[in-house]
Amino acid sequence: MTRSPYAERIAALEARAERDREAFAPPDDPPDERRAMRYLREGFGPAVALYVEARTGGGEPVAFHPDEFAALERAMNQWLDLYAACYGTTLDAEFTVREAATLLVGTHNVRDTARVLTRVPPR
């Protein structure tokens, strides 16, 4: 299977998620809501939006190479792990990008989407 037109963008997202993970230091006094929102707005949200664009951007839905799809989900889940860690919660996120996209399309809000998926912060 050939690479999709999104291969480079996915690789960039994956690299950024890895850099964010490596640079992460837990907050001294959780929650660090500002940093949590940065992970959502600059990482998680763009990853999910890329998937939505590929599936609904007009024309035929894009078929991702399996490695691209795995990289996209891995990056998205790393940002959710970091988001939760900003609240002092350890999470080993294993959500599907489709699940996240469905929620984002329904809520139009990246924070609400992350809260539903992770249950962080608790209500």
52-99 pLDDT, tens digit per residue, is 999 987 778 889 999 999 999 999 999 999 999 999 999 999 999 999
Q: Which of 87, 88, 90, 119 is nearest to 103 (CA)?
A: 119
Q: How far is 57 from 20, CA to CA, in rounded Å? A: 28
Write the pLDDT tens digit of every residue in 24-40. 999 999 999 999 999 99
Q: Is residue 1's pLDDT more than 90?
A: no
Q: Which residues contact 44 (CB under 8 A, 6 or more apart)?
A: 76, 79, 80, 83, 100, 110, 114
Residue 60: the pLDDT is 81
Q: Where are the domains of the chain?
A: 7-24+34-118
